[in-house]
Structure 1
Amino acid sequence: MSTQLKKSILVITVIAAAIMELIDTSIVNVALNYMSGNLGATLEDTSWVITAYAIANIIVIPMTSFLTAKLGRRNYYIGSIIAFTLFSALCGFATNIWTLVAFRFLQGIGGGALLSVSQAIVFEVYGKERVGIASALFGVGVFLGPTIGPTLGGFITENYSWPWIFYINIPIGIAVTISSLLLVSEPEIAAKVKSVDWWGILLLIIGIGSLQTVLERGETDDWFAAKYIIVLTIVAIIALSTFIWWELTTPNPVIDLRVLKSKSLAVAAVLTFVTGFGLFTSVFLTPVLAQRVLYFPPTITGLILLPGAALAIVGLLFSATLLKRGVSPLVIITSGFVIFISFAWQMSRVNLEAAPGDLVGPLIYRAMGIALLTVPLTALAVSGLAPKDIPQGTALNNMMRQLGGSFGIAVINTYVAQRFGLHRSDLLSNITTFNDQATARLTKLTNYFAGRGFSSFDAHKKAIAVVDGTINRQSYLLSYLDAYLFTGLVFLAAMPLLLLVINRKKQAGPVVIIGDH
């Protein structure tokens, strides 16, 4: 086997591992009702299946650089793939909800390495001369994973059963493990850990675990009306504040926060957070709008996402080419933000008569916007770092994307709930005896049901139910449209941060990526 073929297979292997991990961040979303009924659990308890995985991921991703140095990249990466695959199987075999949640947490621990280490390997294979292309190829996984997760999950649960959303990882995991055993090696420059920062690890687990739980469960439990949300918020603030102080003062931190002294990394981290906000909230909102309000079937919902996903690959490669030719990352990033804002604006104009084809165009804008952000944000993040700090910098950047997604979904859930109440109240205020159109509509519906053999009382009751359902549907539509607009405004508010690194616009060439991210 030629060296070039080995490199190609290695790149395909690690990108497949990253996609597998990212798909699992969203594949279970559409299967919660099936799990709930099958395991005899409430929907609120079943949602911990999502929360547990997210908590584990967010904890492990920033520790990747430390764990790779401590255990060795090859050992840590292959061990993580095996753990991810094993616990995927055990998730499918689970017979009660809390066993499933425990296995799901452990699956997330294993999955934490599949993002950052995969990224490091892709960069290493392509080298500094083609880092833009490497970023683009890895960006395919970052974009496709969360996008196709709900569609794939819906198809599997509708045609098979929910355990298969976990079993599907087994053959892929085995293939990736075998390929990694044959092809993955230690980096030429491997960092060594002098001592283990146990206090840092403990504070990180407590702080991120508490924060992620608040973000994932806040809306479900009415935020600060629940005592445990208040307690966990206080714990998160104290633990994370102490963690920051400790990591900045200890000589061998588990996460070297000193790299954030780089202005380009600090700005890129915030913009990556915003990008994660937009990526994950749009993936969350679009299927819900399509199925809950516009009544598209799951298959059609999946299909309207595909053109954008396919064109995103072109956008990723295009942005990499622009970087290679010396175009400033800031120009590409600005274009990505503008295009995504255009997507948000177009989606905020959708109405109840929208056909599937009407959403394809805006979703292409979404895909291209995110695609144009993924590669240059990575370049911007590391542009001001010394080679030894790049692994830690990119690990932090990856964490910010995932945290942005979790924060975004929590905020959007709350925002939609509040807007729904407001819009419903406004619409109901028009349903009075003084509104001739409302009265005529109600009378017509009552007569319709009376003609179907219902008593006058039951006919009137059914007519009111129909009107109420129509009001709810319109209220949800307006709420989701507001949410798209809100997401666009978040992107707009973040754009001025680019002015802080405008002096780096000439440093657009390839950056050197070494070690593990």
Structure 2
Amino acid sequence: MNGKAEAAQPLTGMRLLLAGAVLALTNFMVVLDTTIANVSVAHISGSLGISASQGTWIITSYAVAEAICVPLTGWLAGRFGAVRTFTFGMIGFGLFSFLCGISTSLGMLVACRIGQGLCGGPLMPLSQTLLMRIFKPEQRSQAMGVWAMTTVVAPILGPILGGTISDSWSWHWIFFINIPVAALCAFGATRLLRSAETPTEPLRVDRGGLVLMVIWIGALQLLLDLGREHDWFSDPFMVALALISAIGLVIFLVWEFTDDQPIVDIRVFRHRGFTVAVTSLSFAFAAFFASAVIIPQWLQTSLGYTSTYAGYATAFTGVGAVIMAPIVASLTNKVDPRALVCFGILWLGLTSLMRVGWTADADFWTLAMPQLAQGFGMPFFFIPLTTLALAAVEEGETASAAGVMSFLRTMAGAIGTSVSATMWSDNAVVARSEIVSRLNTDETVAAMSAQGWSLDQIRGVVAQQVEQQALALATNHVFLISAFVFAGAAMIIWLTPRPARVVDTSAAH
């Protein structure tokens, strides 16, 4: 197998086009699944009889599992071969998609989403690796451009597709549609990519680091997801989870720093530029991803939007990103990347402030325009920030640094979702009590009674208004906090030095 892999040559003709399509379609499907469930949470919550905050576990469980598995990609490819790992990952992704679709409880669905994330985590970086192997050197930049477009377009179509499927059929089909795609891509990989297999060797896996990572991340995510329902640290179980997470993180960091082949190479944090860049990335991405989860829930639970129209409203983010991505890519080597990143993150903060004035009677375009504006700033944030981070490390550390970036970005999105969902729910409770004290008065009852309303009708109208306005105020509060987070993330980027070398950003996944 090894000799075969070492003699592998770039593909040509129709075989190359089909293989490239398989890899691009795989990446599209994996990225799509990060957003397709966002607008379906209301449907899933209603079907399974759970709260909206519990529904976010469906999103965070996938993201956390994916984050855990991404650092294992290099070891899996080196131990079993990139094509073989890719094929089995695709088969597993399809199988867990089927199990997600037939889930009848929250526990089953979350467990299957974890399986999806574990199988899907390596697929994105492996699709990049295999693209670089099957295309000739002079064709690789164009191939990576097409691959990058699938990464940008998938989040646009995710909310629209998820909403349309949930409204027209049922939420189960947002998972079932993965099955034929996974089968097609797995079959295509075995038929078309066999000659692109990578060399294998009996590599040692950092079992201790892997176990520690699963323990502290799992404890942290359980704490974030269950904390509100258990009144946080008044519950001994929540205290235990916090201690396990904190102690586990410390032991994990010490273990990884001293291990010869760490699962997460934390030595890259010795470079100030990398540390500052990924810190900025983590905070900004947490605030960005949280909005992608909160907005669809608010539109459906409070404003009466269907999943389809919630998808239309949120998908506008991707339109601006598609337009600006090539422009920003050309500017990265001409303008100080720190200035581009600072502008991009501040722009995201500005779009958060645009949402602070949202009310319960906001029309479609009032909701959609900040999404469109946000999209124009996203490439200024993502593309130059990748350049800044990877240029700060040594050339031999680029792959490790890219893996750490992907891990932290995904974890930041999951944590940001959990924190914002809790904040949103808690603020709604506070706002609800304040509004009730002002609206539910004798004067209100007398005024509405004079217009012919019965007491039961008055109570119903008041309750509906209180709920709508409370959620609107809670949403505004979340975006106000997000604006401050964006501002802080934008300012700290100036602590990183300007890149001293040009990097191949295709290493970032």
2:422 aligned residue (394, 414, 417): 414
Paired with 1:124 and 1:380, the residues of 2 have a C-alpha distance of 26
Unaligned runs of 5+ in 2: 1-9
Q: 2:406 maps to which residue?
A: 398
Contact kept in structure 2, 1:214 and 1:229, CA below 8 Å: yes
Helix, strand or coil at the partner of 2:224: helix
Cα 1:401/1:185, change in 2 over 3 Å: farther
Q: 1:498 maps to which residue?
A: 493
What pairs up with 1:167-206 in 2 under 5 angstroms? 167-184=176-193, 194-206=203-215
Paired with 2:489 and 2:56, the residues of 1 have a C-alpha distance of 31
Q: 2:3 maps to which residue?
A: none
Q: 2:446 maps to which residue?
A: 443
Cα 1:120/1:66, change in 2 over 3 Å: same
Cα 1:237/1:138, change in 2 over 3 Å: farther
What pairs up with 1:217-236 in 2 under 5 angstroms? 217-236=226-245
Q: 1:485 maps to which residue?
A: 480
Paired amino acid for 2:353: W
Paired with 1:494 and 1:91, the residues of 2 have a C-alpha distance of 36
Q: 1:110 maps to which residue?
A: 119
Paired amino acid for 1:160: W
Q: 1:357 maps to which residue?
A: 365
Q: 2:396 maps to which residue?
A: 388
What pairs up with 1:76-475 in 2 under 5 angstroms? 76-94=85-103, 98-122=107-131, 137-146=146-155, 148-184=157-193, 194-323=203-332, 325-431=333-439, 439=443, 441-448=444-451, 450=453, 459-475=454-470
Query: By how many angstroms is 1:371 displaced?
Result: 2.4
Query: By how many angstroms is 1:448 displaced?
Result: 4.7
Query: By how many angstroms is 1:115 displaced?
Result: 2.6
Paired with 2:238 and 2:290, the residues of 1 have a C-alpha distance of 22
Q: 2:504 maps to which residue?
A: 511
Unaligned runs of 5+ in 1: 451-458
Compare 2-11 and 481-490 and name the one that shifted more. 2-11
Paired with 1:423 and 1:39, the residues of 2 have a C-alpha distance of 27
Contact kept in structure 2, 1:82 and 1:173, CA below 8 Å: yes
Contact kept in structure 2, 1:133 and 1:317, CA below 8 Å: no
Query: What whole-Å deviation, never above 9, does each CA across 1:22-64 have from its counterpart, x for those lacking one?
Result: 3323433554565566667788877654454333222112222
Paired with 1:261 and 1:126, the residues of 2 have a C-alpha distance of 35
Query: By how many angstroms is 1:320 displaced?
Result: 1.5
Paired amino acid for 1:481: N
What pairs up with 1:69-80 in 2 under 5 angstroms? 69-80=78-89
Cα 1:119/1:446, change in 2 over 3 Å: farther
Helix, strand or coil at the partner of 1:252: coil
Query: By how many angstroms is 1:84 displaced?
Result: 0.4
Paired amino acid for 1:465: G
Paired amino acid for 2:377: G
Query: By how many angstroms is 1:204 displaced?
Result: 1.2
Paired with 1:47 and 1:289, the residues of 2 have a C-alpha distance of 13
Return the TM-score normalized by structure 1.
0.85
Query: What whole-Å deviation, never above 9, does each CA across 1:379-398 have from its counterpart, x for those lacking one?
Result: 22211333432222111111
Paired amino acid for 2:472: L
Paired amino acid for 2:429: G
Paired amino acid for 2:293: F
Paired with 2:420 and 2:46, the residues of 1 have a C-alpha distance of 27
Paired with 1:31 and 1:307, the residues of 2 have a C-alpha distance of 17
Compare 351-360 and 38-47 and name the one that shifted more. 38-47
Cα 1:341/1:34, change in 2 over 3 Å: closer
Contact kept in structure 2, 1:416 and 1:480, CA below 8 Å: yes
Helix, strand or coil at the partner of 1:503: coil
Paired with 1:175 and 1:181, the residues of 2 have a C-alpha distance of 10
Paired with 1:48 and 1:186, the residues of 2 have a C-alpha distance of 40
Compare 463-472 and 201-210 and name the one that shifted more. 463-472
Aligned-residue CA RMSD (Å): 3.3
Helix, strand or coil at the partner of 1:502: coil
Helix, strand or coil at the partner of 1:492: helix
Query: By how many angstroms is 1:495 displaced?
Result: 1.8
Query: By how many angstroms is 1:343 displaced?
Result: 0.7
Cα 1:297/1:414, change in 2 over 3 Å: same
Q: Percent same amino acid at aligned positions?
A: 26
Contact kept in structure 2, 1:123 and 1:513, CA below 8 Å: no
Paired with 2:39 and 2:161, the residues of 1 have a C-alpha distance of 9
Query: What whole-Å deviation, never above 9, does each CA across 1:108-163 have from its counterpart, x for those lacking one?
Result: 21011123323444566789889887776555444544554344333222221232
Paired with 2:185 and 2:477, the residues of 1 have a C-alpha distance of 42
Cα 1:326/1:71, change in 2 over 3 Å: farther
Query: By how many angstroms is 1:346 displaced?
Result: 0.9
Contact kept in structure 1, 2:273 and 2:497, CA below 8 Å: no
Query: By how many angstroms is 1:491 displaced?
Result: 0.8
Q: 1:454 maps to which residue?
A: none
Helix, strand or coil at the partner of 1:24: helix
Compare 126-135 and 199-208 and name the one that shifted more. 126-135
Cα 1:444/1:125, change in 2 over 3 Å: farther
Paired amino acid for 1:390: T
Contact kept in structure 2, 1:132 and 1:320, CA below 8 Å: no
Paired with 1:63 and 1:500, the residues of 2 have a C-alpha distance of 31
Paired with 1:398 and 1:367, the residues of 2 have a C-alpha distance of 20
